Amino acid sequence: MHQKLQQLLSRIQPADCSIMVAAQAHLDDLTKPQGSLGRLEEIALKYVLATGSLKPILSKKKICCFAADHGVAAEGVSAFPAEVTPQMVYNMLNGGAAINVLARHAGADLDVVDMGVNHDFPDMPGLIKRKVRPGSGNIAIGPAMSEEETLQALLAGAELAVDAREAGYHLLGTGEMGIANTTPATALYSVLLDVPIESITGRGTGIDDERLQHKIAVIKRAVDVNAVRCTSAFTTLAALGGYEIAAITGFILGAASCRIPVVVDGFISSAGAVAALKLCPIVDDFLFFSHLSNEQGHRVVMQKLGARPILDLDLRLGEGTGAALAMQLIEGSVKIYNEMATFSAARVSEKSAE
């Protein structure tokens, strides 16, 4: 394994379970029947353990939307042409995309990170330039990225998470933009989770039945062509992924190394999370899966991971939209933990012993 990646992984430590009993006791002492706030209590407990503090802080939030183009778009697997990627990046930078609206509503800052868009952007507020190459290779005929490029993208994502920690952020979210990126995401799932391609291939931007069958065939070809390269999670990410997916993987690893919880968006962001989990299973302690995507395969993926997404709203946009929505529930959960009165302090009678 590459030395810099190994160093990053070595810095990741599990959540602080030594405070679990005290944190649960505090939740149980809040002025409500025990467990009556359901998953909000579970979310609060996970946040407390991730941060390692019985008095957790959650005020500054940031979403990073990683953007890149994909060579496999040339195979006609998307309903939209590749030039939509830079057009949507401009839309985000101008404040007009769904993620802009929802991030503002959530009180989260938004950065758009160019990891590999086939376009030269001018310097603009909110744009971070980390381009590795203008578009990945076509996975239907060869690898998406070299190992060196994959490492560069991964470490760039990790660095952004560390920078966010140093800037005082408490909760991070992932997002992505890249035409055709459900194709590499599906290819990654099929190999990393050993699931049938047909069971996890969805319609992405809204392709018809004929193009869906074509997409399945392209993904099968990509997996076959790159099979010899897929000897580890890292080499599989290089062979079948993309620059924004690798950056999301690094972003999650970097956040975990700083004990910052990460809210994972949808189908594509979850592929970056799966790669991170395969590289370092400990990162699960720091992950919140924001929502169950309407993409067909996401339910299969979540079941494979034993994960329970926070929301189920039939979302399939990406960008970080689900992460922005879930951030509000996580923040609400932490406020419940921090701000509700306790039975002992409020002198409210508890449930009688039977």
Pair 253, 9: CB distance under 8 Å? yes
Report the percentage of the chain scoring pLDDT > 70. 98
Where do the DSSP E strands lie in 84-135? 108-116, 127-129
**Matching residue, tokens 């579970």:** 42
352 falls in which pLDDT band (50, 70, 90)? low
| Contact between residue 85 and residue 121 where contact means Cβ atoms under 8 Å apart | no
Question: How many Cβ atoms sit within 10 Å of the Cβ of residue 205?
Answer: 15
CATH class of 3-55+338-346: mainly alpha
- Tokens for 80, please give them: 């939209």
Contact 288, 46 (CB under 8 A): yes
**Which one, of 194, 189, 191, 265, lies nearest residue 225 by Cα?**
191
DSSP 352: P
For the sheet containing 287-289, what is the strand order?
A: 127-129, 108-116, 61-68, 171-177, 262-264, 287-289
Given the residues 319, 331, 339, 350, the one annotated as active site: 319
Residue 58, pLDDT score: 98
- Exposed/middle/buried for 220, CB within 10 Å: 0-12, 13-18, 19+? middle
Query: Check: CATH 3.40.50.720 for 61-331?
Result: no
Has 159 been annotated as catalytic?
no
Could you give the CA distance from residue 109 to residue 83 in angstroms, rounded to a whole number? 26
Rounded to 10 degrees, the C-alpha dihedral 164/168/174/176 comes to -50
Whole-structure pTM value: 0.97
Residue ranges per domain, the chain?
A: 3-55+338-346, 61-331
Query: Could you tell me where the beta strands, DSSP code E, fall in the chain?
Result: 61-68, 108-116, 127-129, 171-177, 262-264, 287-289
Over residues 275-285, the pLDDT tens digits come to 999 999 999 99
Convert the pLDDT of each residue in 183-216 to its tens digit: 999 999 999 999 999 999 999 878 899 999 999 9
